[in-house]
Amino acid sequence: MFGISTGAAIGMLGAALAVCLSGAGSARGTGVAGQAGTGLLSEDPSKFGKVLILQVIPGTQGLYGLVVGFMCLLRMGVLDGTFADLEFVDGCRYLAACLPIAIGGGISAVAQGRVAAGSINLLAKKPDDWSKGMVLCITVEFYAILSLLASLLMLIRI
């Protein structure tokens, strides 16, 4: 039998959701941007550096989720060997703390990937205006950062 309390299982579920949902959103977002980028690069390979920057931007949410997931596991004592059974309510606190980046990170990464794809189209048609597309991508990033901040502040207070 796997000896883990319900609270600890719920806390680990929170960490898993933070990593998986934000990572899945980032994979989808970078994939959408990458598809747009390959179309442009087939016509003009010299724009690779700019396309790469626009494609990477939606990947940050996956990193944010990984940071929150590791911090959650660290605070629960899973990573340093001090793991103890958690009460149900404590597990729910960890789960709640991971939800902002899990949901906000996952959704914003997909939205940012769409903006990045549009920015790649802008780069194709008006190469001198590609920085405007980056600004639009960074506007979406702001909400991912708010999700990260919310999760971190909650984790610190548990």
- Residue-wise pLDDT tens digits, 10-42: 999 999 999 999 999 999 999 999 999 999 999
Percentage of the chain surpassing pLDDT 90? 87
- The tokens describing 11, both together, are 């806390």
Give the span between the Cα atoms of 35 and 141, in whole angstroms. Answer: 20
**6-157: CATH number:** 1.20.120.610
Q: Is the pLDDT score of 1 beyond 50?
A: no
Dihedral sign, CA of 132, 135, 136, 137? positive
pLDDT at 69 over 70: yes
Asked whether the beta carbons of 25 and 64 are under 8 A apart, the reply is no
Q: 38, 18, 42, 41: which is closest to 144 by C-alpha?
A: 18
pTM of the model: 0.91
